[in-house]
Amino acid sequence: MSEATDCRGGRFAGKVAIATGAGRGMGRAVALLLAKEGAKVAVNDINGPAAKTVAEEARQYGAEAIDVPGDVSSADDVSRVVEETISRFGRIDILVNNAGISSTTRPLETITDDEWSKVIDVNLKGVFLFMRAVLPHMKKQKSGKIVNVSSSAGRSVSTFCGAHYTASKAGVLGLSRHAALEAAPFNVNVNAVAPGTIDTPMLREDASEELIAEETRNIPLGRLGTEEDEANLVAFLASDEASFITGATIDINGGDLIL
Ligand X SMILES: NC(=O)c1ccc[n+]([C@@H]2O[C@H](COP(=O)([O-])OP(=O)(O)OC[C@H]3O[C@@H](n4cnc5c(N)ncnc54)[C@H](O)[C@@H]3O)[C@@H](O)[C@H]2O)c1
Residues in contact with ligand X by CB under 6 A are 20-21, 23-27, 44-47, 50, 71-73, 98-101, 122, 149, 151, 195, 197-198, 200-203
Shortest distance in whole angstroms from residue 167 CB to ligand X? 13
* Closest CB to ligand X among residues 117, 243: 117
Q: Which residue in 159, 165, 195, 237 is the catalytic one?
A: 165
Shortest distance in whole angstroms from residue 225 CB to ligand X? 7
Which residues make Cβ contacts (< 8 Å) with residue 120, sequence separation at least 6?
164, 167, 168, 171
Shortest distance in whole angstroms from residue 92 CB to ligand X? 17
Biggest alpha carbon distance in the chain?
Answer: 58
Is 165 noted as a catalytic residue in this protein?
Answer: yes
Which residues make Cβ contacts (< 8 Å) with residue 131, sequence separation at least 6?
95, 97, 146, 148, 175, 179, 190
**Sheet arrangement for strand 40-43:** 65-67, 40-43, 16-19, 94-97, 144-149, 188-195, 249-252
Which residues make Cβ contacts (< 8 Å) with residue 3, sequence separation at least 6?
none
Helix (H, G, I), strand (E, B) or coil at 100: coil
* Closest CB to ligand X among residues 188, 193: 193
* Closest CB to ligand X among residues 20, 191: 20
Instruction: Report the amino acid identity of residue 195.
Output: P
Check: CB of residue 194 under 8 Å from CB of residue 152. yes
* Closest CB to ligand X among residues 63, 127: 127
Shortest distance in whole angstroms from residue 28 CB to ligand X? 7
Helix (H, G, I), strand (E, B) or coil at 258: coil
* Closest CB to ligand X among residues 14, 49: 49
Check: CB of residue 54 under 8 Å from CB of residue 28. yes
Shortest distance in whole angstroms from residue 151 CB to ligand X? 3
- Hey, which residues are catalytic here? 165
